[in-house]
Chains A and B, each alone.
Chain A
Amino acid sequence: MAVIDLANPTRFLTLVDRVLPWLAGATALVFAYGLYRVAGAPDDYQQGATVKIMFLHVPGAWLGMMGWGVMTVAALGTLVWRHPLADVAGKAAAPIGAAFTFICLVTGSLWGRPMWGTYWVWDARLTSVLVLFLLYLGMLALYWTAEDPNRSSRAAAILALVGAVNIPIIKFSVDWWNTLHQPASVVRMGGTAIDTSILVPLLIMALAFTLLFFTLHFAAMRNEILRRRVRSMRMMQAQHA
């Protein structure tokens, strides 16, 4: 099925209805296996059991960033191809991405308390995730203030693209501003610095989070389509009344 066939919301809804149970089931299975592997993962020799927070924290950060990536692709779809589902996809991705970013912030803060002795430090990575969260909130504020979904979707698409250009700049400037956090350790030159006994559960959890993201995303897209139908039905009813 080509992407253009999905432009028909009804066809998309039938596809979602068919795919969603399988996706949700896969999410539950991978989560169960991932949590089992996390429970079996060894404690850190310095950090003890608190290192297990990482299995929520790191996937949360990745998915938080991916959420903006999904919004960027959807924004291109809205502005370039005027794909009718693209703005639905973008709108549905915003609160989910914000939620994953929030998970990253909260778990990071809870992890920082025993490790750094404080819930919050203004170090580079925490700060750039916080700024990402603020950008998400701005995006949500934009959706809240606009009544007409068509109008808000295009404005949101432009904001998503502006954000996509700015996020690397913000990341760079915050890094420059303060570097206290440990440097990137999963993907770096010369291979990973994490032992496989930790890395494998981490990747499984990342897969589980990704599946969860898309399950929620599809469900949210379906809800948004239905919400718009309800809205247009109400408008028609008001016209004929």
Chain B
Amino acid sequence: MTAFLALLLRDMRLAMRVGGGALMGALFYFIMVAMTPFAVGPDLNLLTRIGPAMLWLGALLASLLALDRLFATDHDDGSLDLLMMGALPLELAVAAKAIAHWLTTALPLIVITPVLGLMLNVELSAMGWVALTLLAGTPALTFIGLIGAALAVALRRGGLLLAVLVLPLTIPVLIFGVAAANAAIVGPAPFGPPFTVLCALSLASLVLGPFAAAAALRQGLE
């Protein structure tokens, strides 16, 4: 457990110091949401209607941004080999890295979501619910992306390949996330069912993601 925590803290420190991308995801998210009115026009009613969708799309793309560096930097400086040979099971090691990634990229993004909601004319009371859907859904994005990151580093390719592999797999998360957010803001459909499915998706990918990612690393780097 100490090794797990040490790895988690190491990755968080790396992400927050110079050269890390901790706040870059949140900044990208902010810019993307700010670009939306330029694309669809400043009509406040329209922005209310598409607000949750834009917030979710922004979160999805922002969580992809830093993913290709999740294993690539460790692979370049050799620390990934140490992780693979270490006493900590590789599944737990990649899970620690994914949790650190979530804490440094997804969490800041969720924190600023209520403020961004104001710019999209979503009421502050409803923004709490949207932030809650992001809190429940972004772990699924990170842990599905984890598989893509492991595959990309095993193939020594990053960037676009990762997005092409991962994005279709995140469609269920997007569907249920936006459905829950819409239910919270405009109704009339109940908030419960899509939200619970969203939680289920996160929990399932929390279990499956590390195993698939560890398998990809083992197969790719042996």
Contact = CB atoms under 8 A, between A and B. Distances in A.
A166 B165 CA distance: 12
Interface string A92-132: 00000000000000000000000000000000000000010
Contact of B220 (A134, A154, A166, A174): A154
A198 B83 CA distance: 60
Interface size range on B against A: 20 to 34
Contacts of A155: 151, 154-155, 216, 219-220
- Where chain A touches its partner, the secondary structure class is helix
B199 interface: no
Interface string A129-163: 00100110110011001100001101101110111
A79 interface: yes
Contact of B161 (A141, A170, A172): A141
B208 interface: yes
A177 interface: yes
Contact of A174 (B161, B164, B175): B175
A135 B170 CA distance: 11
Q: Which of B151, B154, B176 has the most CB of A within 10 A?
A: B151
A170 B157 contact: no
Nearest to B193: A176
Interface in B166-211: 167-169, 171-172, 175-176, 179, 197, 201, 208
Nearest to A146: B155
Q: Which of A145, A154, A158 has the most CB of B within 10 A?
A: A158
B12 interface: no
Nearest to B208: A165
Contacts of B80: none
Interface string B151-165: 100110100010011
B169 A158 contact: no
Contacts of A165: 208
A207 B197 CA distance: 38
B103 interface: no
A141 B158 CA distance: 12
Contacts of A134: 167-168
B161 A142 contact: yes
A169 interface: yes
Given A141-B161, A154-B220, A169 B212 contact: no
A141 B220 CA distance: 17
Interface of A: 79, 131, 134-135, 137-138, 141-142, 145-146, 151-152, 154-155, 157-159, 161-163, 165-166, 169-170, 172-174, 176-177
The 6 A-B pairs with the shortest beta carbon distances in the complex, nearest first, are A154-B219, A173-B172, A134-B168, A138-B165, A145-B157, A173-B175
